[in-house]
Structure 1
Amino acid sequence: MDQEKEFYRSLPPVDYSLADAVATDVIYKLFIHPEQEVGTILTEENVASTNLDKTIPTVLLIHGWTSNDNSPWYRPLRDSFFRLGPHNVIYVDWSIAGNKSYDVSSANTNPIGKYMAKFLLASGIPLENIHVIGHSLGSQTSAFIGKYILEFSGKKLGRITALDPAGPKFEHPLVPPDLRLCKNDAELVDVIHTDIQLYGFTAPIGHVDFYPNEGKHQIGCPRRDKASEEEVNCSHARSTHYFIESLLTKSKAWEAVYEEKDYEVTVRVKEESREVTFGHHVEKSARGVYYFETNAAHPFLKVEQNILDRTA
């Protein structure tokens, strides 16, 4: 484990000159009801004229490296949003640009984010109604969506939720906030850290940064030195499971202190700590670092309220 941490810390910064993405590398599929099995293909040219209701929340789901829109978290997250009420849910597939070497794919987050910003602005959807949710490299892509929307329109995206944003190469000291995810990228940037110092970004970078189980090895995941090839992403992927559960249930997180010394990270609850709601229903005014513990298996969150129980 320590050798892996040293390896990821030693990686050079993202080299954005390696980017080779083009606009057609991004595919958008719109879903507007839970029975819909095939998404409606959207483009920058047709998005303004589709049956997309601009008055309801629009959610974009953005996968990470070596994945696509068949990513296992897309469908359950989509269905949970529909259970909450009417939504436009857009599956993003940027796998053409995102399934190359990590060096190239990490660089492609910049132009892919630019193309997606132009797409969203062409849609005419009010920016406050847009919620971008990205996992890993998808979180870094989300950052560039926000940066380019601000550059092109002078206004900020409504919300970015970063599910264990990619850390390797982006955490290098020579990568400034304007070339990676930061709290300036949307009106609300909330971050869930579940694999710090390895695949995930370690330090707090949002308005609200959640560190379940200190953001380290997640309870119920096998140790990385014992994990199979399929299991090595377990902690990295837990961010998606926790967020999905947070749509239909409410659980608490406690204000914490993040400390890093000699590359050892601790996240400890403050005395007289404030509480916030974890995940999708986090209070818009919340700021800072928050800690909570999970269960080892589904349901992962220690639930205080079922959102769909209107009498609770």
Structure 2
Amino acid sequence: MAPLRVINDTVSKRPNFLALPIEERKDVSKDGSFIPQIDGSLKWMSADEIKKEQRKLKARNWFFDRPVDFHLYTRKNPKKSQKISANNAKSLKKSNFNSDNPTRNIIHGWYNNYNSDVNTEIRKAFLEVMDCNVISVDWSQRQHVALLDDLHVIGHSLGAHVSGIASRNVIAGKVHTIIGLDPAGPLYEDYSSSIDECLTKDDARYVEVIHTNGGRLGYLKPIGNADFYVDGGEYQPGCLLKSSWICSHLRAFWYYSDAIGENRFTSKKCTGYKFAIVNQCLEEDNEVQLGGAMNYELASGVYYTPVNAVQPYGMG
């Protein structure tokens, strides 16, 4: 039995298959993948079953058939949103939206909405450090103009891929930055050749990806201009064994929320993601930090980021 590590009275253990080469791990093989269910459980699906589900999604044009609501928050209304209608310019003019301020769009993941933690925590962090427009995109039910130079789109899980889709459909120019918070892996990783809704580094001028549960609920391989593998990018310290997949997957937006305000996630440059997973990387790069405000100028390639088991998570 693998040894247990105790972190602040929380027991965590890395499964034995982490010692196997990546190609030999069942949960990232081309034979199938674990797929999250409505009740939060995981179900193993074969490659043929996954391809069938993908065909269903594409036939229904799933992403674009859903209604979308936009909830605007500013320093004038940091807690109560102003609802913006997608096809009503008057609602934007009557709101607190300020085109002179930078805009940050936050897109939630599967079975979440605009009031989920990913939105509330990141929104609070942004409004504490800058005067900006924060728009929580609610596609749980799916032309306003913002300056692309000041537009950052932040998406968690499935929302990370939605961020890529939305950004690549901008008619003129490119979104400045996309932050992909542990982009969804099931139905995507190892099946990207049969589905075109996956986030890529070409979807914005700069795409940063934060990996926290890669190969399970999250995407394991690098897909951004800069990919940060937190504590190896698969399991996060402090997460209980039984719920480690969900816990590790959700940690991505908690780390990013901390990084917005404190920016203390110093990282190491790696020669590849397989080295990042096992922390066989170079010395710390004091200029590049997970979620760093200047990463679009400084960061490229793959990084390993150490973290604490409890807040404050950053160790820099």
Q: Match for 1:138: what amino acid? A: G
Alignment partner of 2:116: what SS? coil
| CA deviation vs aligned residue, 1:8-36 (integer Å, no higher than 9, x gap) | 17543533223345566111111112654
Q: Distance in 2 between matches of 1:22 and 1:272?
A: 42
Of the three residues 262, 270, 276, the one matched with 2:288 is: 276
Q: Distance in 1 between matches of 2:125 and 2:115?
A: 17
| CA deviation vs aligned residue, 1:101-157 (integer Å, no higher than 9, x gap) | xxxxxxxxxxx5xxxxxxxxx2221111111100000000001011111xx22x111
Alignment partner of 1:39: what SS? strand
CA contact (8 A) 1:254 1:275 kept: no
Deviation at 1:283, TM superposition (A): 2.3
Structure 1 pair 174/296, CA: closer, same or farther in 2 (3 Å)? closer
Range moving further from structure 2, 3-12 or 27-36: 3-12
Deviation at 1:280, TM superposition (A): 4.0
Q: Distance in 1 between matches of 2:301 and 2:209?
A: 11
Of the three residues 83, 87, 108, the one matched with 1:45 is: 87
Q: Distance in 2 between matches of 1:24 and 1:205?
A: 26
Residue 307 of structure 2: aligned partner = 294
- Normalised TM-score (structure 2): 0.77
Deviation at 1:43, TM superposition (A): 1.6
Residue 108 of structure 1: aligned partner = none
Backbone CA RMSD of aligned residues:
2.6
Deviation at 1:78, TM superposition (A): 1.1
Range moving further from structure 2, 264-273 or 238-247: 264-273
- Normalised TM-score (structure 1): 0.78
Residue 238 of structure 1: aligned partner = 251
| CA deviation vs aligned residue, 1:79-111 (integer Å, no higher than 9, x gap) | 111111211011111112xxxxxxxxxxxxxxx
Q: Distance in 1 between matches of 2:77 and 2:303?
A: 36
Aligned length: 269
| CA deviation vs aligned residue, 1:40-70 (integer Å, no higher than 9, x gap) | 1112233453442111111111110011112
Matches within 5 A, 1:240-255: 240-251=253-264, 252-255=266-269
Of the three residues 149, 159, 162, the one matched with 1:138 is: 159
1:29 aligns with 2:41: no
Range moving further from structure 2, 161-170 or 36-45: 36-45
Structure 1 pair 23/128, CA: closer, same or farther in 2 (3 Å)? farther
Residue 202 of structure 1: aligned partner = 220
1:256 aligns with 2:293: no
The gaps in structure 2 that reach 5 residues or longer are 1-14, 18-25, 35-45
Alignment partner of 1:165: what SS? coil
Q: Distance in 2 between matches of 1:266 and 1:233?
A: 21
4+ runs of 1 displaced by more than 6 Å? 271-274
1:170 aligns with 2:188: yes
Q: Distance in 2 between matches of 1:234 and 1:240?
A: 11
Deviation at 1:271, TM superposition (A): 6.2
Range moving further from structure 2, 268-277 or 80-89: 268-277
Range moving further from structure 2, 35-44 or 189-198: 35-44
Q: Distance in 2 between matches of 1:40 and 1:257?
A: 45
Q: Distance in 2 between matches of 1:44 and 1:219?
A: 41
The gaps in structure 1 that reach 5 residues or longer are 97-111, 113-121, 304-312
CA contact (8 A) 2:259 2:292 kept: yes
CA contact (8 A) 1:162 1:189 kept: yes
CA contact (8 A) 2:221 2:273 kept: no
Alignment partner of 1:269: what SS? coil
1:56 aligns with 2:104: no
Structure 1 pair 73/128, CA: closer, same or farther in 2 (3 Å)? same
1:92 aligns with 2:124: no
1:216 aligns with 2:234: yes
CA contact (8 A) 1:57 1:129 kept: yes
